Amino acid sequence: MAKKTISTPRPIDKVMTVWDVLTPDERQFLRNNHTVHRFKKNELIHCEGDTPTHMMILESGKVKVFKEGVGSRAQIIRMLKPGEHFGYRAIITNQPHNTNVSAVEPSTIFMIKADIFISILKHNNAFCYRFLEELACDLGVSDARIVNLTQKHIRGRLAEALLTLKKNYGVEADGATISIYLAREDLANLSNMTTSNAIRTLSNFANEQIIAMDGRKLKIIDEEKLIRISKMG
């Protein structure tokens, strides 16, 4: 693998998708009042039970949001890509975090102190509305996931996970390889199954020419079929 150069993070105005609704004063304030943090691969960013202190924005890299369930079996709730916010839900509800977040790749994160974030939410109606939209969207996704993960069979759940990853992270230059390389365990934790079953089912998909595998690189060959499998359950 080519050695990764540590790139300088982009300025916050290029990263924050809600920048457009901020007032000039708020913009200047945020430029001066945010911090930049780098996390190594597999480093924990915050964990369940922690008191939330900052709203966070992923500048670069990839992170997973997950919960530890029965017997410390992990369930990945969602995967984030650059520009997405996290860690703020708990600030709004004024409760400890109910998820863990960790970097699946080296990641750079902008942090804004909780009180500053709340203050803008309470003073800038358009800003508040944007986050209302974001949470409304996330809630829809979460509710849909309840049904998908509980009712679909293994093949359907894994197919769905692969399609979601492709939609979320896109593909490499070849137009097929999903642009995120996850361990089989992470794929399993996304799809609510054991690692063995993720491996087994991936092998089956490969035998059926639905995907092609090269280590952690997964290529979707027959997307139609994958969609069908995902829909059937």
Considering the rule CB under 8 A, would residue 98 count as an interface residue with a second copy?
A: yes
Q: Among 93, 119, 196, 209, which residue interacts with a second copy (rule: CB under 8 A)? A: 93
Tokens of 3: 């050695």
Do 181 and 171 form a contact (C-beta atoms < 8 A)? no
Do 14 and 59 form a contact (C-beta atoms < 8 A)? no
Query: Which residues in 48-87 contact DNA (CB under 7 A)?
Result: 71
CB of 68 to a second copy, least distance (A): 8
Amino acid identity, position 208: E
Considering the rule CB under 7 A, would residue 153 count as an interface residue with DNA?
A: yes
Which long-range contacts does 131-135 make (Cβ < 8 Å, 24+ apart)? 131/18, 131/85, 131/88, 134/85, 135/89
For residue 217, list its beta bridge partners: 214
Residue 90: which of DNA, a second copy, none does it interact with, CB under 5 to 8 A by kind? a second copy
Tokens of 11: 């300025």
Distance (Å, rounded) from C-alpha 33 to C-alpha 10?
A: 15
Considering the rule CB under 8 A, would residue 161 count as an interface residue with a second copy?
A: no
Considering the rule CB under 8 A, would residue 23 count as an interface residue with a second copy?
A: no
Size of the site for DNA (CB under 7 A): 21
Query: Which residues in 186-215 contact DNA (CB under 7 A)?
Result: 192-197, 199-200, 202-203, 213, 215
Interacting residues toward DNA by CB under 7 A: 41, 71, 153-155, 183-185, 192-197, 199-200, 202-203, 213, 215-216
